[in-house]
């Protein structure tokens, strides 16, 4: 029997789950983000210690030097849970798909000046390996970080990095088929310009403090790399030289960086405002990593622009990063 139940007005017993009521009261119906994120991770009475590291707890906030009274303070301003995340990316993917089609159907790659293509090949395609490292690093943060609102966006960020690596691979296939990817890998492994970055990423993959990895990868390295490579070199230099087609194919990266930096900044701001100790740790990490990665990226920028200009672009990116850090309450 199918009954018509739409017309009945019945009174609700509970507005929300108890753990959400405790956090947010029950005046408002909680959002799906809140339901999907808060207090999902087990907190107490964990059964066994990890056999891989018996000194740790199964979920262990002490894996990081950063201390939070409540890790659920680190909310994602984008309020991404699986569904909103996936729907957003699917929409962006549709745009990217039509961008790829446009570039293909208008033969934009073939019509591009050789120097532009050379920069795309030398600078962009090897970056797919850097995105793989970022994928691994964010996967670590998701796996070992504490509290769902902090760890959840990291698995999305990890998959985004894989997606970016795959967009770069498609670009490579368009400009030089499989040989493009092979040459880029060769560069990544051997050419002088890429070795400092590869070495730094191998070093970062050995770090096990999840917040340290988060800061150095998502704030420092990406905070230098995306403004430098995508905002300046691709969207300005290459576009001026007739490389709009490249810029269309890296649109995802540009938008993704602008979107995700709001999240990264908000996490840092919340951590820094928690305590003077946190602030000191964050400043130490950011200060050393920012200087280090700035020098690492200099030869990378040199693949696209002449020495002086490379210096200039890299130091602009560095200043921009420190501005972000200041806005988040650091170095004051």
Partner 1 sequence: MDIKKTPKKLNVKEKYRLMTRDLAWEPSYRDEKEIYPYVDYEGIKVHDWSKWEDPFRLTMDAYWKYQAEKERKYYAIIDAHAQNNGHLNVTDARYLTAIKLFLQSISPGEYASHRGFARVGREFAGVGPQVACQMQSIDEIRHAQTQVHAMSNYNKFYNGFKDFANQRDRIWYTSVARSFFDDAMSAGPFEFLIAIGFSFEYVLTNLLFVPFMSGAAYNGDMATCTFGFSAQSDEARHMTLGLECIKFMLEQDPDNIPIVQKWIDKWFWRGCRLLTLVAAMMDYMLPKRVMSWREAWNIYGVENGNALFRDLARYGIKPPMHWDDVEKSIDHTSHQIMLGLYQWKFGTAFHSWTPTASDIEWLKEKYPTTFEKYYLPRWEYAIAQKENGGEYNNFGLPKLCQVCQLPTLFTEPDDPTQLCHRETDYEGEKYHFCSDGCQHVFEQEPEKYVQAWLPMTAMMQEPLKGDLAAWMEWVSLEPTAAGEYANSEDKANFEKWRKQVSTD
**Which residues ranging from 175 to 234 are in contact with partner 1 (CB under 8 A)?**
175-183, 185, 188-189, 198-199, 202-203, 205-206
d(CA 142, CA 144): 6
In angstroms and rounded to an integer, the radius of gyration of the C-alpha atoms of the chain is: 22
Q: Which is nearer to partner 1, 154 or 314 (CB)?
A: 154
- Assess 319 for contact with partner 1 (CB under 8 A): no
Stretch near partner 1 under the rule CB under 8 A, chosen from 141-149, 278-286, 311-319, 324-332: 141-149
CB distance 171 to 123 below 8 Å: no
> What is the secondary structure of 31-90 as a DSSP string?
PHHHHHHTT-S--S------TT-TTS-SS-GGGSS---S-GGG---TT---HHHHHHHHH
Q: Figure out which of the listed residues 60, 61, 67, 93 binds partner 1, where binding follows CB under 8 A.
A: 93
- Assess 105 for contact with partner 1 (CB under 8 A): no
Q: Figure out which of the listed residues 25, 50, 77, 307 binds partner 1, where binding follows CB under 8 A.
A: 50
Q: Figure out which of the listed residues 108, 119, 123, 142 binds partner 1, where binding follows CB under 8 A.
A: 142
Binding residues with partner 1: total (CB under 8 A)? 99
Give the nearest distance from C-beta 326 to partner 1 in angstroms.
32
Give the nearest distance from C-beta 73 to partner 1 in angstroms.
17
Burial class (CB in 10 A: 0-12, 13-18, 19+), 210: buried
Helix (H) or strand (E) holding 242: none
Q: Figure out which of the listed residues 117, 119, 238, 249 binds partner 1, where binding follows CB under 8 A.
A: 117
């Amino acid at each position: 029997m199918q009954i018509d139940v739409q017309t009945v007005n019945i009174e609700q017993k509970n507005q929300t789950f108890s753990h959400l009521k405790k956090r947010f009261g029950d005046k408002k119906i909680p959002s799906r983000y809140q339901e999907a994120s808060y207090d999902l991770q087990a907190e107490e009475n964990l059964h066994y210690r990890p056999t891989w590291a018996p000194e740790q707890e199964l979920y262990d906030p002490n894996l990081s030097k950063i201390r939070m009274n409540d890790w659920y303070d680190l909310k994602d301003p984008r309020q991404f849970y699986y569904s909103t995340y996936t729907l957003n990316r699917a929409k962006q993917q549709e745009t990217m798909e039509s961008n790829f089609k446009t570039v293909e159907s208008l033969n934009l790659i073939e019509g591009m000046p050789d120097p532009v293509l050379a920069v795309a090949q030398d600078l962009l395609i090897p970056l797919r390996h850097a995105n793989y490292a970022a994928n691994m690093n964010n996967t670590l943060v998701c796996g070992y970080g504490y509290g769902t609102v902090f760890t959840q966006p990291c698995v999305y960020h990890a998959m985004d990095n894989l997606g970016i690596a795959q967009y770069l691979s498609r670009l490579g296939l368009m400009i030089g088929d499989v040989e493009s990817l092979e040459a880029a890998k060769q560069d990544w492994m051997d050419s002088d310009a890429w070795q400092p970055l590869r070495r730094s990423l191998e070093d970062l993959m050995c770090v096990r403090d999840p917040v340290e990895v988060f800061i150095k990868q998502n704030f420092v390295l990406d905070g230098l790399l995306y403004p430098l490579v995508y905002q300046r070199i691709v969207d300005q230099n290459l576009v001026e030289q007739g490389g709009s087609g490249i810029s269309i194919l890296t649109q995802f990266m540009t938008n993704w960086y602008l979107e995700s930096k709001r999240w990264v900044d908000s996490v840092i701001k919340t951590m820094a405002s928690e305590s003077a100790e946190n602030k000191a740790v964050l400043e130490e990490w950011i200060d050393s990593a920012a200087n280090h990665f700035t020098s690492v990226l200099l030869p990378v920028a040199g693949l696209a622009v002449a020495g002086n200009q490379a210096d200039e672009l890299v130091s602009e990116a560095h200043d921009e990063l420190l501005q972000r850090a200041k806005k988040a309450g650091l170095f004051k």
